Amino acid sequence: DPQERAFQERIDAGDKIEPKDWMPDGYRKNLIRQIGQHAHSEIVGQLPEGNWITRAPTLERKAILLAKVQDEAGHGLYLYCAAETLGVSRDELTRMLLDGKMKYSSIFNYPTLTWADMGAVGWLVDGAAIMNQVPLQRTSYGPYARAMVRICKEESFHQRQGFDIMMKMANGTDAQKKMAQDALNRFWFPSLMMFGPSDKDSVHSAQSMAWRIKMNTNDELRQKFVDQTVPQAEYLGLTVPDPDLRWNDETGQYDFSEPNWDEFFDVISGNGPCNTERLNTRKQAWDDGAWVRDGMLAHAAKRKSQGIAAQ
Amino acid sequence: DPQERAFQERIDAGDKIEPKDWMPDGYRKNLIRQIGQHAHSEIVGQLPEGNWITRAPTLERKAILLAKVQDEAGHGLYLYCAAETLGVSRDELTRMLLDGKMKYSSIFNYPTLTWADMGAVGWLVDGAAIMNQVPLQRTSYGPYARAMVRICKEESFHQRQGFDIMMKMANGTDAQKKMAQDALNRFWFPSLMMFGPSDKDSVHSAQSMAWRIKMNTNDELRQKFVDQTVPQAEYLGLTVPDPDLRWNDETGQYDFSEPNWDEFFDVISGNGPCNTERLNTRKQAWDDGAWVRDGMLAHAAKRKSQGIAAQ
Amino acid sequence: MSDGLFQFLLRMGDNTLVLGHRISEWCGQAPGLEEDIALANTALDLIGQTQMWLGYAAEVEGAGRTADDLAFLRDVWDFRNLLMLERPNLDFGHTITRQFFFDAFHVLLLTRLQASSDARVAEIAAKSVKEAAYHLERSADLVIALGDGTDESHQRMQSAVDLLWPFAGEMFAADDVDNAMAAAGIAPDPASLRAEWQRKVDQVMADATLTLPESQFAHQGGKTGRQHTEHLGHMLAQMQWLQRAYPGATW
Amino acid sequence: MSDGLFQFLLRMGDNTLVLGHRISEWCGQAPGLEEDIALANTALDLIGQTQMWLGYAAEVEGAGRTADDLAFLRDVWDFRNLLMLERPNLDFGHTITRQFFFDAFHVLLLTRLQASSDARVAEIAAKSVKEAAYHLERSADLVIALGDGTDESHQRMQSAVDLLWPFAGEMFAADDVDNAMAAAGIAPDPASLRAEWQRKVDQVMADATLTLPESQFAHQGGKTGRQHTEHLGHMLAQMQWLQRAYPGATW
């Protein structure tokens, strides 16, 4: 197909694809799936942190967490807007999330159980997210790439805040140190899972990489994350919960254990610790909010017709 | 009316009136109002204490409070049964409560704000209730009198438990002493109001006393309560929040300030601190429970018709 | 005076702390993404204002306590917020109506406080008043839109107005603390804000096709601390958990 | 062994403590007066059992702690209750279905524990088993009545069963603590209770016209303490408030 060839040539040349440009159906479909899933992750991702806003230990920590959660909702907004340029509305995407037809990042199906989890989420989860997102600033689809630029700036700020919480905990009382270690124990492998299954088991990878809507392989990013994070854990005086973790002089990288992929597929398929809670919370919010959305639309329509009548 | 005269003579002779006996409409109506109101008070009265069951400070205190609340629901049950003998169903009475057509004791429209309030409610509120209830064991209507006998036994137990909480608080840390005093400050006058307005302003008193469904005047009982309670407060080392309270050698009683009757009528008319909350909680419970009650009835009907079919 | 000023500052800071807490409970659960963002932003502003008010309160008290100590280590009786603000959120209509009643008051109060004889009070008010004005613009617009929306949204908003109205009067009830503040030129007599507040509220209610109840009954006891609602204790159990469970730790 | 026994006793006591707390939240809010009474009674029994289990746990630990210390001064990670029991009550159907799944297990376990090689365990079990049997009779009857009631009650009960089923398996998952208890004759291997539990549940489900999901997936992490749900922390913030806020006071 000459159209497809021309399209691929533009991408190979580093051109940005814009909403009105021709694009293959598969490109559009994959992008919608990927951007939608990313947007949903920002929205659902508010919940594990929201769980601690009302119990934040100081006014400053409460303010920082509120600002972070607000940023995440903002990221969701950018991403839904980027997805809308592909011809799918925010309401359609939301409906697919609530019907279980679209996913969000599995990491948010893990519970936040102590204040140290606010540190671990920032440090590990945002850290892993950034690994994924930084290269996506150069993705081939213009609106997506531009959303990523804005998002990455804020995410790295969040990651530093998370690390700062971990520092305070790791240098705190015995109980705080215990919380910090416990948080690392629970979030380490789920964070590694955030990069997806090993490349050999990954479905869409090759085509997505050719289209530049995926910039690196899952294993590459996971390795990079481990190499970056292990020294940080050491700096904190915490132990990564992997007995087989060790520095490999030959490769110049860390060797580490694979996460339990059975658990990963369990969580993906709905059996994570919080899948039901998270989705029910969002469904409830959507259903409870229906009268508000309807009311605002009705009022806007009245105002509009009054405006027309007055002309 | 000779029938009414004969009825009054039975009452004067100390006879008990039983459900199947003839009785004047006014007697029946007044009793329904009084017993219903008393039953509703037991039910609504669970709520201010229920507010602290989940925050009780020790396992033993939690158990004692649970037992007390269970007793109160039981008292409600006895009283609704007594009212039913007068030809009004529990559902009808409940509906009248929820529609605001029947009252419950205004004291339960005050909030319970600290653990000491669990002491104050037992000591003062149950104490005042007992003052009212002990004479009602000799009331003219048989089922009511018998319900009262059972209730009084448990109430005096509750009052001792409340006093015991106050003792622990009054002999505890500075913060506990402060809580105890604060609870007495907030509950003193509302407890005095529990006996109703002064006799000269009380509507139904004379006829009710003739029928022996009211055994003492409001002022008599209030005085008796003050005389009993003030020495207990002194024993606890607490100050009754009434600057004009003093022992009167002449009368052999305490002189004390009247409660603020404007506040009393405000609360009665729906403007108490918790009227809306209490009634909404009960309405919600009733509405949320509809499917359960309907389900149980439907199942019982099925079982019954299966039983008939099997014969 | 210094105890009066301390009490006044607690009232300001507890109002923003308690309302900020309630608003933050909406996190991730608002009717739409724009509302989620706006509510988080409102909560954030209020917590920021709390830091300033309670920080100054702690200084004035001079007992070595910090803003965090005041927020996380006082029990119900020492809180000085308006009863309205500690009420549970109920539905979005209730949350927004409460916000509107408070915002309309808050803007007037902060505007006047910019001219306080106490320089720190004036400074904090100046920093807060723009945020409050933005909150008011937003909550007023929402009250109008939802009051004048569908039958259901109208009915829900009217219920919220009916439920909250008896809690509005406490904002304007003056006591000894208020009188001392007014006499010292630190803060206006709250009663003096009422007429203008009422004008604003009447206008928004009219646009929203909503009706204020006629009763002038006003619940009292929050700003004096005499008698809060049962809701505050539950809020504090959550808010103060970590500080209570791990005393002396730094976070 | 003594740490194993301590862990086992925490599991027993935390189960009754946490479920007792949840049930007590119904106070004054049940669908009817009889249910209010029965729920308060169930909670009361469970708290009584908690006193015995945690009291013995504290003795076995030998660190000078009391049952109250264990109940009111541990944080989430030290709790050993089943995840199912810390879940929020949701509607009455969910509450009763959870109760039934647990009661059916509890009766079997306590029955076996009466023959424990540890005399104190046997004694506590003997005191508790009659209460548990009564709870089971009641919860089973309610599950049947509501499953076989109206369309709405049936549908609500089926939803509750579907939601709770993935939490049932944790009751029967054995770990090192269970193996040590079984080897010492202190407690049965929980897996050995499963078949009889399943028979009881199948029979009640059949009478209730309800269907168990086919999935055998089971959430884990409560009885080991590795990973509770987010709900437990909120429960503890409330349950432990007074002890945390006023350390050292007696009540």
- For residues B58-85, average pLDDT: 97
Q: Which residue has the tokens 């600033």?
A: A137
Residue type for position B122: G
pLDDT in tens, A94-111: 999 999 999 999 999 999
The pLDDT score that the predictor gives to residue B198 is: 87
Q: How confident is the model at residue B12 (pLDDT cuts 50, 70, 90)?
A: very high
* Cα B138 from Cα B131, distance rounded (Å): 13
The pLDDT score that the predictor gives to residue D229 is: 98
Domains for chain C: give ranges and CATH numbers.
2-245 (1.20.1260.10)
Nearest beta carbon to residue C230 from set B51, B186, B276: B51
What was the ipTM of the complex prediction? 0.96
The pLDDT score that the predictor gives to residue B205 is: 78
pLDDT in tens, C176-189: 999 999 999 999 99
Least confident of A180-184, A268-272, B196-200, C101-105: B196-200
Q: Calculate the alpha carbon distances from D222 to D81, D84, D86, D173, D225 in Å.
A: 5, 8, 9, 11, 5
Nearest beta carbon to residue D245 from set C234, C238, C244: C244
Q: How confident is the model at residue A203 (pLDDT cuts 50, 70, 90)?
A: low
Are residues D25 and B295, on separate chains, in Cβ contact within 8 Å? no
The pLDDT score that the predictor gives to residue A206 is: 85
pLDDT in tens, C13-62: 999 999 999 999 999 999 999 999 999 999 999 999 999 999 999 999 99
3-state secondary structure chain B: CHHHHHHHHHHHCCCCECCCCCCCHHHHHHHHHHHHHHHHHHHHCHHHHHHHHCCCCCHHHHHHHHHHHHHHHHHHHHHHHHHHCCCCCHHHHHHHHHCCCCCCCHHHHCCCCCCHHHHHHHHHHHHHHHHHHHHHCCCCEHHHHHHHHHHHHHHHHHHHHHHHHHHHHHCCCHHHHHHHHHHHHHHHHHHHHCCCCCHHHCCCHHHHHHCCCCCCCHHHHHHHHHHHHHHHHHHHCCCCCCCCCEEECCCCEEECCCCCHHHHHHHHHHHCCCHHHHHHHHHHHHHHCHHHHHHHHHHHHHHHHHHHHHC
Q: How many residues does chain A have?
A: 311
- Using a CB-CB distance cutoff of 8 angstroms, which residues of chain C are in contact with residue D241? 233, 237, 241, 244
Across chain C, what does the average pLDDT equal? 97
pLDDT in tens, C207-240: 999 999 999 999 999 999 999 999 999 999 999 9
> Does B have 3 or more CB contacts under 8 Å with A?
no
pLDDT in tens, A224-244: 999 999 999 999 999 999 999
B-C interface: how many C-beta pairs under 8 angstroms?
A: 40
Chain D touched by C27 (CB under 8 Å): no
Residue C1 has pLDDT above 60, yes or no: no
Residue B257 has pLDDT above 80, yes or no: yes
Residue A247 pairs in a beta bridge with A254
- For residues B196-214, average pLDDT: 84
pLDDT in tens, B165-199: 999 999 999 999 999 999 999 999 999 999 999 87
Give D69→chain C minimum CA distance, Å.
13
Residue A112 pairs in a beta bridge with none
Percent of chain C with pLDDT over 70: 100
Give D212→chain A minimum CA distance, Å.
17
How many distinct helices (H) and strands (E) make up chain A? 14, 2
Least confident of A109-118, A192-201, C121-130, C140-149: A192-201
* Cα B118 from Cα B69, distance rounded (Å): 11
Q: How confident is the model at residue B206 (pLDDT cuts 50, 70, 90)?
A: confident
**For each of chain D's 251 residues, which pLDDT tens digit applies?**
579 999 999 999 999 999 999 999 999 999 999 999 999 999 999 999 999 999 999 999 999 999 999 999 999 999 999 999 999 999 999 999 999 999 999 999 999 999 999 999 999 999 999 999 999 999 999 999 999 999 999 999 999 999 999 999 999 999 999 999 999 999 999 999 999 999 999 999 999 999 999 999 999 999 999 999 999 999 999 999 999 999 999 99
The DSSP symbol for A71 reads H
CA A198 to chain centre: 19
Residue B244 has pLDDT above 60, yes or no: yes
- Using a CB-CB distance cutoff of 8 angstroms, which residues of chain D are in contact with residue B115? 242, 251
The pLDDT score that the predictor gives to residue A156 is: 87
Across chain B, what does the average pLDDT equal? 95
Phi first, then psi: what are they for A272, rounded to 5°? -70, 165
**Closest residue of chain B to D18, computed from CA coordinates:** B54
